[in-house]
Structure 1
Amino acid sequence: MAASQQMGRRLPEIPQEKKKNVLNGGLMPTLGSDTLWELAAAEVESRETGGGEEEETVHERSVFLMGSKAGGKTSILLRCLDRDEPPKPTLAMEYTFGRRARGHSTPKDIAHIWELGGGTSLSDLVQIPITPVSIRSLSVILILDLSKPNALWGTMEKLLQATQAQLKKVSAQAQQAEKAKPGAKHQTLVHSAARILPKDYPDRELISPFPVPLLIIGSKYDTFQEFDSDKKKVISKTLRFIAHYYTASLIFTSIKSESLISKTKGFFSHLAFGLDRGKTVSCDATKPLIIPAGCDSFSQIGSPPIADVDITSLHARNPMDLWKKVYERVFPQESTSEQRELKDPAKDPQYSEPQIDAVRVQKDQELEQYKRNAAKSWKGLELDT
């Protein structure tokens, strides 16, 4: 009986001027409660409803990296993560992660990073990083090799189309799953750029925002800057149009330039850890392009750069198709048939392991012998029947 009375007893009154310092070191707002229990209950309710000023949970984001084959994706990623190690060719889909501390006493932010290898040949693997869980905080980075303009449009088009299709599919699945939960509140799982664009966003009614934050990186700028000025103009204006059309950020970079890598890292850290991406803007075609999303417009980009050709004769269905036809007039796109032929990694000299390779050869021979014996047995079985 005494115990129950003790449990039901009110705690001593807390002076009004000290109430705000009881919890969270002064972060708790002054409440009209009279007991510590009521103050604690109010704090828990505040955290559950998102009213707390300081989050203690670990922030996790996902970044999907894709682009041109041998376009420098891994090299750029390692530099952005401050990892001093030699880059290796990416096999299919590879995963890594990055961490960043927000403070001495707070958990680290985590970025889950998926890198797609093989250029466009393995675009079906986009289903691995794009899931109902990852799309809640997913960003996409498309790296295009500026030194190979004849493969640029095809790479961009196929990879973005495959990514958009998977995002649409997963978003629909996730929304159906949420609606199926009893009493679940409706929530938007894909952070669609179309839903967050301000009313004064340039060309808002003419663009097609990418479903998740998108960063386009033009790699190997050191080689690109040696191109003829007219060709550089076509590539630069075309990528500006694509980036603005998809509400993406655009930056040209080179691993040989510390300044450009530093600015590229700023864009990467913005997607991976939510940091400020910087305020630098450069739309000059004679210099590396650095254009955050929302800092460009169709009026600034201008019309497709092509001479001695009547644009109306190209019979384009829409602006994107028009820019594609103009670009391919200047840079005929290479066939992608060769890109689909992947080299067997087991036969690649750089992954040579003598002992393992010897066993592999033996097993391959045993497999061939087994196939021959099985074929003979099936033939004999057919004759008996």
Structure 2
Amino acid sequence: MPKLSSDTLWEQAAAEVRHRESGAGQEAGEEAGEEAGGETLSERSVFLMGSKSGGKTSILLRCLDRDEPSKPTLALEYTFGRRARGHSTPKDIAHLWELGGGTSLSDLVQIPITPANIRSFSVILVLDLSKPNSLWGTMEKLLQAAQAQLDKVYSQAQQAEKTKAGAKHQPSVHPATRVLPKDYPDRELISPFPVPLLIIGSKYDIFQEFDSDKRKVVSKTLRFVAHYYAASLIFTSIKLESLMSKTKSFFSHLAFGVDRGKTVCCDSTKPLVIPEGSDSFSQIGSPPAADVDITSLHAKNPKDLWKKVYERVFPQESTGEQRELKDPAKDPQYSVPQIDAMRAQKDQELDQYKRNAAKSWKGLELET
């Protein structure tokens, strides 16, 4: 990444544009956090998505140590975080995107996922544990949308690399392939998500009051999903400081490359804390299907089997949420008095025009 001599956001943006135009964008693939003489600036991108009203904004604000009230996310919002490594070194920057609306705006994933940032990109999926009947559908649709865009961007980047290096050039890594250590548990049986993935189960304070059998189904299912995608998994609540502290360490690991600690908890009677590579299919066991005949489910693969068992216990509600009908222009949180007054005036003029036009048409009909 280019060296930035100022903390001013506009100068950072200008430097980034010059960097991309110089053709160095492809070289930005060096792992974020790599230093040259302790002076190189690290920039990473983190994309948050998940359950509607699942607490994404609140979790993000807490992870950034921002003491401000959370507001409903309007479509797709951007912010950034900075972290200094030392007194004399530049601050690392995390570009943070948050998708609102649950699954209804999943097509917006194409905005934050681009060839320019793909090699320093990670995803956080926030799932509302208090609403298990929409959990699988939300998870499935959002991960599919993100993975499709990641595959597309990887292909574009590789095509550009081929063109640049010549027709005989062969890419070293196939699109959407994340290289895992050779000793990664169940390495041959899983399907790693293309970029680092963190799954956060939110509202644990409500979830912990659920029946123990239902908690076990949700916990084991999310353990399976997280391990299948080579993702990290943590349960949290903004009302429980000890859990938020662990969540912040996982977030900082993705955003700034900070060590996330070595805490591991796979006990379904407690909040789960499972870094990627710390679980295995043998430890997770089979789907908790005491009242379900697994042989009758006709599953195509292990993931499909877990889905069918989970949906037997928690019949899924439709996640095809309608887009918000509420007009953002009338939302008090986006109020701008001068613009609102002009908008009201134009609305009145439009209504008057419609009434006059209706009278004119009625007059023409009578004459006819």
Q: Is the TM-score greater than 0.5?
A: yes
Secondary structure in 2 matching 1:340? coil
Counterparts in 2 of 1:111-122, with a 5 A limit?
111-122=94-105
Is 1:277 matched up with 2:260? yes
| Distance in 2 between residues matched to 1:189 and 1:365, nearest whole Å | 60
Summarize deviations over 1:98-129 as a string: whole Å, max 9, x none: 11111122111100000111111110100110
The residue aligned with 1:237 is 220
Q: Supply the RMSD in Å over aligned alpha carbons.
A: 2.8
The residue aligned with 1:305 is 288
Is 1:347 matched up with 2:308? no
| Distance in 1 between residues matched to 2:91 and 2:103, nearest whole Å | 34
Amino acid at match of 1:87: S
Q: Which runs of 5+ in 2 are unaligned?
A: 1-29, 364-368
| Distance in 1 between residues matched to 2:302 and 2:129, nearest whole Å | 22
Give the drift of 1:306: 1.6
The residue aligned with 2:123 is 140
Counterparts in 2 of 1:47-86, with a 5 A limit?
54-86=37-69
Is 1:320 matched up with 2:303? yes
Give the drift of 1:357: 3.3
CA shift in 2, pair 1:157/1:376, >3 Å: farther
Amino acid at match of 2:59: I
CA shift in 2, pair 1:376/1:139, >3 Å: farther
Summarize deviations over 1:323-347 as a string: whole Å, max 9, x none: 1111111111112344434422223
Is 1:333 matched up with 2:305? no
Shifted more, 100-109 versus 228-237: the winner is: 100-109
Shifted more, 98-107 versus 52-61: the winner is: 52-61
Secondary structure in 2 matching 1:307? coil
Amino acid at match of 2:264: V
Task: Number of aligned residue pairs: give it.
Answer: 332
Which one has the largest radius of gyration? 1
The residue aligned with 2:229 is 246
CA shift in 2, pair 1:256/1:366, >3 Å: same
Equivalent of 1:107, from 80, 90, 94?
90
With the length of structure 2 as denominator, give the TM-score of the two structures: 0.83
With the length of structure 1 as denominator, give the TM-score of the two structures: 0.79
Larger relative contact order (Cα-Cα within 8 Å, sequence gap ≥ 6): 2
The residue aligned with 2:15 is none
The residue aligned with 2:21 is none
The residue aligned with 1:156 is 139
Identical pairs, percent: 83
CA shift in 2, pair 1:197/1:90, >3 Å: same
The residue aligned with 1:360 is 343
Contact 1:216 1:248 in 2 (8 A): yes
Q: Which runs of 5+ in 1 are unaligned?
A: 1-48, 381-385
CA shift in 2, pair 1:52/1:263, >3 Å: closer
Summarize deviations over 1:69-101 as a string: whole Å, max 9, x none: 111101100111111111111111111111111
Secondary structure in 2 matching 1:99? strand
| Distance in 2 between residues matched to 1:205 and 1:272, nearest whole Å | 28
Is 1:126 matched up with 2:109? yes
CA shift in 2, pair 1:67/1:109, >3 Å: same
